[in-house]
Amino acid sequence: MLLNILRSYRELPRNIHLLFLLEFSLSLIHVAFILILNIYLRKQGFTDPEIASFNSLRFIGALAFALPLGIYIRGKRLKPFFKLAAIIVPITSAMIIESIHFSIVPLIQLSFLCWGVGMMLMRVCSLPFIIRNTTADNSTEALSLSAATWSLATIFSGLIISGLDWISFLNISKWTISFNEQGILWIITFIGMGAIRFVAKMKEDDPQEDDKRVDIFSLHKTYDWKLIFKAISPLILISIGAGLTIPFVNLFFNSIFGFTSSDYSLLGSFTALLVFMFSLLVPTLRKKYGYWMTIVVVQTLAIICLIVMAMTEMYASYSYAVLIAVGAYILRQPLMHMAHPASNELMMNYVGKNNQELISALSSSLWSASWFFSAKIFEWLRILDYRYFEIFLITAFLYAIGVVLYAFLIKEYERDQKKRSDRVLPIADELTID
């Protein structure tokens, strides 16, 4: 069985493999930033509210451009946008690293903004590119492979960070290379620059003539906005909740339990391995157990794990608290991520073929908007001296409402499934940040 699964992924079109390598290269940078950038900022003297403010800026670009981009790319070649992403992300990453080192706040803000635009270009275009380069027989594998990219990048980034941190420094002739947060981020950024090579090897034909471009002045007639709003409502709540927690989990472990960049990176790598394994199995699990199990049940369990992790702050002085926090985090990650492909499949199937490209862009835009506002809320809450566990409980509450909305959506979709059989699309997971 395992060999058959691996063979199905190996036999995917060359363009899909190249897209996977592109996503993996840029995700290496993205993950490294999530794992240790906040700690780097803290060591450079920036406060939690300032760190939250910087993080919020990377979502503004995506918020502003994701939806127009989703409309614009219909009927256009996608390779040029991937090329832009492969150039923008490494360059702006380097700018972020050095501007933090020299504490140039305006440049930090500008770099975060442009960095978010670069990542948005890749995310919005990935799903349409996969749809165009696969058939009904292999699209599930292609989309699942794309979903697993984030986890695989987390594994490698975590191992690189931990390995370099263990080495500490390297003497080359008269030069000494220090493997602190700045040095590590530079090395991973350099590795991520290889993304441009994979884009260059892509071969893309012009889109089919029947893939009509959308007149921006007739958007209200072109798309079914009622369906779109229903489908995306749970995602909004879950993304807001995730934005309050996920970018700042490293600060939680650093502040409460004294985790170093290396400690948290190792933890992230281990959990990512579990996420990666489960991501590849999601199509099988979804077909066997359905949406209720892969969305409602697993997300409910993930919420419980988040609450358990958050409450360890109340008894952090006890030696066993860190074990409970780590255990809850390890369980939460694969559970929450396992639900994302299934929930995105549900969303895509529910809205139908005519709305799929728009909702791909809209979900990216709303996710960015939610995380922007969440980062601002986190900033304000920390200024008001809210503790981490209090903020994480707010996340759990928002998650719970989102799960309830998913339950209603599943009920409605299953009731109308036979009437909408011509709108089925395999599993897709573009939003794997949390």
Q: Which of 423, 414, 268, 434 is nearest to 339 (CA)?
A: 434
Coil, strand, or helix at residue 214?
coil
Residue 153 lies in a domain: yes
Average pLDDT over residues 339-347: 78
Cα→Cα distances 245→94, 276, 374, 378, Å = 26, 21, 9, 8
In this prediction, residue 48 carries a pLDDT of 83
Instruction: Say if residue 431's pLDDT is above 80.
Output: no
- Using one digit for the tens of pLDDT, what is the confidence trace for 225-242? 788 888 888 988 998 898
Coil, strand, or helix at residue 176?
strand
The rounded distance, in Å, linking the Cα atoms of 316 and 147 is 35
Locate all alpha helices (DSSP H) within 214-260, ordered by sequence: 219-222, 225-245, 249-257
Residue 216 lies in a domain: no
pLDDT-based confidence at 323, cuts 50/70/90? very high
Predicted TM-score of the model (pTM): 0.73
The rounded distance, in Å, linking the Cα atoms of 244 and 391 is 7
Average pLDDT over residues 406-433: 66
Coil, strand, or helix at residue 416?
helix
Average pLDDT over residues 115-133: 85
> Do the beta carbons of residue 83 and residue 199 sit within 8 Å?
yes
Residue 430 lies in a domain: no
The rounded distance, in Å, linking the Cα atoms of 109 and 90 is 16
pLDDT-based confidence at 429, cuts 50/70/90? very low
pLDDT-based confidence at 220, cuts 50/70/90? low
Give the structural domain span for 321: 14-205+223-423
Average pLDDT over residues 246-252: 86
Instruction: Say if residue 276's pLDDT is above 90.
Output: no
Lowest mean pLDDT among 267-271, 339-343, 429-433: 429-433
Q: Which residue has the higher pLDDT, 197 or 175?
A: 197
Locate all alpha helices (DSSP H) within 292-318, ordered by sequence: 298-311
Q: Which residue has the higher pLDDT, 285 or 50?
A: 50
Q: Which residue has the higher pLDDT, 37 or 167?
A: 37
> Do the beta carbons of residue 199 and residue 35 sit within 8 Å?
no
Give 211's contacts (C-beta < 8 A, 6+ positions apart).
74, 75
pLDDT-based confidence at 193, cuts 50/70/90? very high
> Do the beta carbons of residue 241 and residue 395 sit within 8 Å?
yes
- Mean pLDDT for the chain? 83
Q: Which residue has the higher pLDDT, 303 or 342?
A: 303
The strand pairing partners of 177, in sequence order, are: 170
Average pLDDT over residues 103-112: 94
Instruction: Say if residue 432's pLDDT is above 50.
Output: no
Residue 431 lies in a domain: no
In this prediction, residue 66 carries a pLDDT of 77
Residue 212 lies in a domain: no
> Do the beta carbons of residue 363 and residue 430 sit within 8 Å?
yes
3-state helix, strand, coil in the chain (%, to 5): 80, 0, 15
Which residue type is seen at 231?
A
Residue 2 lies in a domain: no
The strand pairing partners of 176, in sequence order, are: 171
Lowest mean pLDDT among 66-75, 210-219, 244-253, 413-422: 210-219
Query: For the domain that residue 93 is a member of, what is the CATH number?
Result: 1.20.1250.20
In this prediction, residue 433 carries a pLDDT of 41
Neighbours of 108 (CB within 10 A): 24
Q: Which residue has the higher pLDDT, 419 or 145?
A: 145
Coil, strand, or helix at residue 138?
coil
Cα→Cα distances 283→109, 144, 233, 408, Å = 40, 8, 24, 22
Residue 213 lies in a domain: no
For the chain, what is the domain count?
A: 1
- Using one digit for the tens of pLDDT, what is the confidence trace for 348-401? 777 776 666 677 677 767 777 777 788 788 888 988 889 999 999 999 999 999
